[in-house]
Structure 1
Amino acid sequence: MRISKEPEVRKREIADTAMRIFAEKGYEATSMKDIAKAVNVVPGLCYNYFKSKYELYEYATNLYAEECIKPLVEILQNNEETLEIYLEKLSNEFIKNVGKEKYHDFFHKEGNQLFHKQLEIIMNDKLQPYIETFIVKLNQKGILQADDPTTISKFIVYGQSPIINDDSLTSEEKVDKVISIIKLLLK
């Protein structure tokens, strides 16, 4: 029996299923036919939404990146009184969610380092404008006196990645290192 769903709901269902199967079987070993079977649709329906497996992967990765940064963006858009409050909230959010992300198993699977790097770049590209706006906002409130919010935001966002992705550190150590660098940059 065919179940009709709204296009965005179906598209999301296909993407979520694909990422689950990619985590189980590996990206290369997964076909669009495998994904369609798991969603319980004909392969042609998957191709109605995505021209290729890679386009499906890109859609899912972008969606995932937006979901991952959403709580951080919400914190950055709050109106807190001090930089310390923002940093504490961001730290707590990171520690609370690290490892619990929807597609974590795929992106952190052995052999998927290239996929993880792609995700990192996409997330950083999406987050950087929010960090820049945040710095400008704190400048306007007199909390900061950052001369070049664009450069500082880029350095913060792209510079923190090697620390955040260092598996030899605990989540708390990662946060401590990143926050200490941010404080130095925003003095």
Structure 2
Amino acid sequence: MRISKEPEVRKQEIIDTAMKVFARKGYEATSMTDIAKEMNVVSGLCYRYFKSKHELYETAVEMYAKECSAPVIQILRQEGLTLEGYIERLEKNFITTDGKEKYHDFFHQAENVMFHQQLELVMLKIVMPHMINFLENMKKQGEIQIDDTESVAKFILYGQMPIINDETITTAEKVSKIDKILKKILS
């Protein structure tokens, strides 16, 4: 029996299934047929929404990067907080989400380092304008004294990634290290 679903629902189902199969079998070893089989549909259905496995993967990365970045952007856009208030909210968000992300299993496998770096770059591109704007606002409010907000934004975002992705330390240790560094840079 054929089950008809709304296009956006079906597209998300294909993406979620693909990421699950990628995590289990690996990206290279997974075919569109494998994804369709996991969904109990014909592979033509997957090709109806995505021209190729690569396009499917790139769409998944873009959607996932937006999803992961949204809470950070929401915090950076809030008004009326002190610098310390922003840092506390960002830390709280990180503590509640670290390691619990939707596609964490795929992106954090040792053999998927390149995929993880690709995701990072997309996320950083999404967050960057919001970080620059945030720093400009903090500067106007007299919370920070920096000349080149764009360079500081890049340094903060790109510089914290090795700490965030260090699986050898706890989430609390990550937060502590980043907190100390941020406060030194921004004070």
Normalising by structure 2, report the TM-score: 0.94
Please tell me the root mean square deviation across aligned C-alpha atoms, in Å: 1.3
What does 1:30-49 correspond to in 2, within 5 Å? 30-49=30-49
| Residue of structure 1 equivalent to 2:121 | 121
Residue 77 of structure 1 corresponds to which residue in structure 2? Answer: 77
Q: Deviations over 1:21-54 (max 9, x none)?
A: 1111111111101111222322112112111111
Supply the distance in 1 between the matched residues of 2:81 and 2:163 (Cα, whole angstroms).
27
User: What CA deviation, in whole Å up to 9, does each residue of 1:116-174 have, x standing for no partner?
Assistant: 11111111121111111111122233322321111111111111111111222211111
One-letter amino acid of the structure 2 residue matched with residue 135 of structure 1: L
Unaligned residue ranges in structure 2 (runs of 5+): none
Q: Does the 8 Å CA contact 1:32/1:43 hold for their aligned counterparts?
A: yes
Kindly indicate whether residue 179 of structure 2 is the aligned counterpart of residue 179 of structure 1.
Answer: yes
Q: Unaligned 5+ residue runs, structure 1? A: none
Percent identical among aligned pairs is 56
1:61 maps to a residue whose letter is: V
Distance, in Å, in 2 between the alignment partners of 1:40 and 1:146 is 56
2:64 partner letter: Y
Instruction: Verify: 1:148 aligned to 2:133, yes or no.
Output: no
1:92 corresponds to which residue? 92
Distance of 2:121 and 2:90 partners within structure 1: 20
> Which amino acid is the alignment partner of residue 7 of structure 1?
P
Structure-1 separation of matches of 2:143 and 2:164: 26
Length, aligned pairs only: 187
Q: How many angstroms does 1:58 deviate by?
A: 0.9
